[in-house]
Amino acid sequence: MKRILSTVFSIALLGFYMNTYAADKDNFQFGVRMGAQFSKLAAGDDADKIFNQDSKYAKSLVGPAFGFIFEIPVMANFEIRPELNFGSQGQRFKLPNDITYSYWMGYVQVPILLRGQFGNETVRGFLHAGPQFGYGTFILDRLLMKGGEKQKESYSFDDQKLKPFDAGIAIGVGAEFPKVAGMEVEVRYYLGMSNINDYGIKDLETKNRSLHLTLAFKF
């Protein structure tokens, strides 16, 4: 975790240094982002070993995604964009007899994105990509049965034999409207590269995947 924070701090300092000497640039901006996250766990046909559920019933888990944006200008159309986000990863299973089982993992996530943009002061398109680091804070099992009866249990990552650290690549595309409170809309995909399971089963890998649909406002 210390190494992650050190990396984020170093990149931020580099961005501020370059900003001092960059001509024809935007200003530093801070903002908030919010939206929905559609998550799955890439566990293949071995999902039943992790969730005790048949993988053929697997569906996307829909949850909230929100956080804070820091845009550091480098050149007129290029920025470094660290973020501090809070989101959920996991899996949902639609079982027979109208039973739904959801496996939620809460994460603190730090993407460090390189962002290119084009357009004018009314509307700008953008594309950004970069590494994302995450740390899991809790796990929640939820079982919704026919008739609306609910059961839920919370766990730590150690309880579930999962590694809390996660890392991967985030890629996003969208449009920004500078004159409308700095509003932007974005579609982003996260491809987890870390094997988060700690089951000790050879060749059984579990990786996070998620699609984000978000709205952001910058100040």
For the chain, domain boundaries = 2-218
Mean pLDDT is lowest, of 22-26, 30-34, 80-84, for 22-26
**According to the model, what pLDDT value does residue 132 have?**
98
* Average pLDDT of the segment spanning 13-28: 49
- Return d(Cα 50, Cα 53) in angstroms, integer: 8
Higher pLDDT, residue 115 or 94: 115
Q: Is 161 left (phi over 0), alpha (psi -120 to 50) or beta?
A: left
Sign of torsion, CA 177 178 181 182? Answer: positive
Q: What's the pLDDT score for residue 124?
A: 93
163: left (phi over 0), alpha (psi -120 to 50) or beta: beta
Name the one residue in this structure whose structure tokens are 């890439």. Answer: 42
Q: Which residue has the higher pLDDT, 41 or 70?
A: 70
pLDDT digits (tens, 9 = 90+) for 137-194: 999 988 888 777 788 889 899 888 889 999 999 999 999 998 888 899 999 999 999 9
CATH number of 2-218: 2.40.160.20
How many Å apart are CA 38 and CA 57, to the nearest integer? 16
Report how far residue 187's alpha carbon sits from residue 198's, in angstroms, rounded to the nearest whole number. 31
Query: CA 145 → CA 138, 171, 198, distances in Å?
Result: 23, 36, 30
140, 153 Cβ separation under 8 angstroms: yes
Does pLDDT of 28 surpass 70?
A: yes
